Structure 1
């Protein structure tokens, strides 16, 4: 049976897009920005993965983790790296893939390169993602596909394009069904602090119930 994913975040556009993309990949995904209603709106005992967006207040996140863990011993919690739907999907894929992965995949921050050691031929997809606007409640982002090719066994180095910025940027690496995510440039401190402030603008309420 397809795994159940619950995306909990603040931005309506991001979480709805992430849930739709996840459903397109065969997951049973829902999304909500109603933090106080999660425990009553959803059967959290049957959820396989819970994704927290960066704008979920720390106290709400802590309470939800504690309460969901009490009724669900198999759940995996994922902290979203950024409000980028495609990146969220990659993070979910990285924790749900049942494929064995004996491939060496590393990100060399000093050289801005992805390094791979393949034991057998594999289809490799490298994508870079980065934020272009942090304006709440709908941040903006873009991405570029760096590589989408079949690689032979051995060691390979994939440099990131110069257009990928050094702030609020990320890279995902798919080797066959296995997915890896890396931070290229961290989110600005000012953006991370937004989750703890009450000065954020109101957002449209979102709580999908595609799968109950």
Structure 2
């Protein structure tokens, strides 16, 4: 699921907490052609980065609500054209796919292409108006111990499909919690939640910037290619 080449790459900043997740997400995004950076220095975002040129700002799930509100207001004031994305999970591939989904709508949409997810059947449903390259990938969490959650993934489909309707069922190996599926039809990308994050994880979300329930983490603040 590669970003469609443009004269200028989309500029992306991921604001989250886990160093490993942030660096991996940046690596994936850069490999796909994005000008991506990441930071877990919440109070330094507006000083360390030129937010006026951002195309996408991603918030990780462990960013406190008051911090997120402040950054959204300030960044939107300085850059009305920015797109905000709420990260679904601390899974680098999911974060990268969410960025692709947010930016793919502004590019050429494959004629007649539709991507939906049928939760009851655990099935990605595709409608193609013309032959297209289709990729479906499942991703899920394997460990939720802070500060470094772990995850894995499975390529479910990667091939060309003819025009018409297609159903892609998720294998039984994909668990029913902390799991997601990404689907791409040429440049059009969608991300769906298969299984919600467990309560044990959502209870860890800081209630405010003064909430110190989570352990300290190493500092991450990438700039260009220096991560």
Runs of 5+ unmatched residues, structure 1: none
Counterpart position of 1:10: 17
- Mapping for residues 56-205 of structure 1, pairs under 5 Å: 56-97=63-104, 98-101=107-110, 102-196=112-206, 197-205=211-219
Return the offset for 1:193.
Answer: 2.5
Q: Any idea what SS the aligned residue of 2:205 has?
A: helix
TM-score, normalised to structure 1's length? 0.97
Q: Deviations over 1:64-103 (max 9, x none)?
A: 0011011001100001111111111111011112122431
Find the counterpart in structure 1 of residue 3 from structure 2.
none
- SS of aligned partner of 2:203: helix
Measured in 1, the distance between the counterparts of 2:115 and 2:49 equals: 36
Contact 1:28 / 1:211 at 8 angstroms: preserved in 2?
no
Counterpart-to-counterpart distance in 2, 1:137 and 1:58: 18
| 3-state SS of 2:52 partner | helix
TM-score, normalising length: structure 2: 0.91
Residue correspondences, number: 212
- Structure 1 segments (4+ residues) deviating >3 Å: none
Unmatched tracts of structure 2, length 5 or more: 1-7
Q: Write out per-residue CA displacement over residues 27-53 of structure 1, whole angstroms, 9 at most, x where no aligned residue.
A: 111110000110111111111100111
Q: Secondary structure of the residue that 2:148 maps to in structure 1?
A: coil
